[in-house]
Amino acid sequence: MKVFHLWGVNGEPSFISPESVALYWILNDPELGYFTNDDDDKEIVFSNNTDLSPTGHLPLLIVSDEGMNDLKIAGFDSIIRYFQRLMITDDEHNEQLYENALLEYVMHDICPLTLYQLYLNKSNYVGFTRKQFSKLLYFPMWYNVPIGYRAAIRSQCDKQLNLEYALVEEDPDYVSDNEDTNVLDVANMAQSKTFKLKAKSLVRNKNELYEIKHNLQYLNKITDVLKEWYTIRYESLPRGHTHYVAADILLWANIYIQINLPEGSKVLDRLTEDLTEEQVTQVLEIIGKLSKRCNVLKERDPIFKEQGNVVMSLYHKCTSYLI
């Protein structure tokens, strides 16, 4: 039995995980060639439980065979490579290397931009991401988890994308700035409510300026990355290679998410402005078809031990100390 654990709710993959969206599309489209129509031994579970994963991330594939220990494969790229190894022939070895290189490019250069939009774009974070976790997780995890993810992704974007992300607040509801500590201290000493409000307003204005700057950096980055993608995508694979690969699906899942967030119209406007009309039209048509595919694999609700409830979270935390 092969069980795919994804982020999702109400029978749909969640936008907070482009990898879950992409894998869901692939699982339900046998024409892509990664999975067969034989779905008797495969099922999808929207468990939203990262404790099940050895890496702490979803999607996760658990392969169970009688008399053997479960095999856990975490991450979109690892799952795809697992099935590639089962199907590959000697003639396809070089082609697989090209496909894997493209997949690495999407994982490294495009997925972080979606995470930026989900967690570091304030409008998207407040208007969508934070609310989404209240549907995906049990209390109190639905409150703490997005805050933790936001801090980790901020560091990732700083280093990996060079977006110069330096917003001063850890959470949109919390106002703080190390550089303005002296100003706030003076306000406290003076016990001036007006001065305190002015100091907080200055910090808030500074945050808003950073937000505008970083969102512009993001828009420049996403168009540059996509232009480069269209160059390498059709130069990397052998001539005559026309079918879609996993990297294509993951790319489209990322674009699908980015243009459907609260600030998505700005992203679509920028892509329409900087990419060719043919490229934009093709992407919109493809993601429209993929997002409306009927379910092929059977889905089920997570059983108790697969859920991310408080009891199971404590259980996994305790067992992690014993291993």
* DSSP 8-state symbol, 89: -
156 or 279, greater pLDDT: 279
State which of 208-212, 230-234, 239-243 shows the largest mean pLDDT: 230-234
State the average pLDDT over residues 172-199: 57
202 or 48, greater pLDDT: 48
The answer to which of 50-59, 248-257, 294-303 has the lowest mean pLDDT is 294-303
Whether residue 181 has pLDDT greater than 70: no
Phi-psi region of 48 (alpha: psi -120 to 50; beta: other; left: phi over 0): left
The proportion of the chain whose per-residue pLDDT surpasses 90, expressed as a percent, equals 53
Separation between Cα atoms, residue 80 and residue 22, nearest integer Å: 11
The pTM is what? 0.86
The pLDDT, as a whole number, for residue 316 is 56
Q: What is the per-residue burial (b if ≥16 Cβ within 10 Å, else e) of 97-118?
A: ebbbebbebbbebbbbbbbbbb
Whether residue 101 has pLDDT greater than 60: yes
Separation between Cα atoms, residue 25 and residue 279, nearest integer Å: 21
Domain ranges, ordered by start, for the chain: 1-87+294-323, 94-292
The answer to which of 27-31, 109-113, 197-201, 205-209 has the lowest mean pLDDT is 197-201
- Asked if 59 and 23 count as a contact pair (C-beta separation under 8 A), the reply is yes
Separation between Cα atoms, residue 145 and residue 164, nearest integer Å: 24
The pLDDT, as a whole number, for residue 318 is 67
Whether residue 119 has pLDDT greater than 90: yes
The pLDDT, as a whole number, for residue 198 is 74
Burial (CB < 10 A; 0-12, 13-18, 19+), residue 82, is middle
User: How confident is residue 96, by pLDDT bands cut at 50, 70 and 90?
Assistant: confident
The pLDDT, as a whole number, for residue 295 is 78
Whether residue 233 has pLDDT greater than 90: no
The pLDDT, as a whole number, for residue 9 is 94
The pLDDT, as a whole number, for residue 104 is 96
State the average pLDDT over residues 108-123: 95
The pLDDT, as a whole number, for residue 206 is 78
Task: Write the pLDDT tens digit of every residue in 68-77.
Answer: 889 999 999 9
Task: Write the pLDDT tens digit of every residue in 144-180.
Answer: 999 999 999 988 887 776 665 544 454 554 444 444 4
